[in-house]
Amino acid sequence: MTSAVLSESKFDVYRTVTEQIIAAIEAGAGSCKMPWHAGIVPMTMPINAATEAPYRGVNIIALWATAAVRRYITGYWASYRQWQKLGAQVRGGGARVRNSLL
């Protein structure tokens, strides 16, 4: 019997997320400043260090935000293995470059 009830009311992920956002706005989130407006580090276009291909779309915003929060000083990004192939030393917990190549 419960399966018939569940099939009649489908879970709507968009509605659920929207309701959570509305609830958060109504509760008050305080002041918000976008990381790329904070002026912590210069914002450069994110580039893959191994392929030299520029990142596109929403990846740019996500990488800018991460760079600002973690105070990265370059716009170069790569996977752990790509950094290894480039001869960079990568610290655990993040892919911050620790060499003079970049």
Q: What's the CA gap between 25 and 88, in Å, rounded?
A: 43
Two tokens, residue 71 = 């105070």
- Residue 9 lies inside a defined structural domain of this protein: yes
Segment 31-82, tens digit of pLDDT:
666 655 655 556 688 999 999 999 998 888 788 877 877 778 888 999 989 9
For 8-19, what is each residue's pLDDT tens digit? 678 887 888 788
For residue 30, being part of any structural domain is answered with: yes
Q: Is residue 19 part of a domain?
A: yes
Residue 100, domain member (yes or no): no
Write the CB contacts of 68 (distance below 8 Å, at least 6 apart in sequence).
Answer: 35, 36, 38, 40, 41, 43
Mark out the alpha helices in 1-102 (DSSP H runs): 2-8, 13-27, 58-70, 80-85
Query: According to the model, what pLDDT value does residue 44 have?
Result: 82
Q: Is residue 90 part of a domain?
A: no
pLDDT at residue 30, rounded to an integer? 65
76: which strand partners?
Answer: 47
Q: Identify the domain containing residue 65 by its residue range.
A: 2-85
Bigger pLDDT: 13 vs 88 = 88
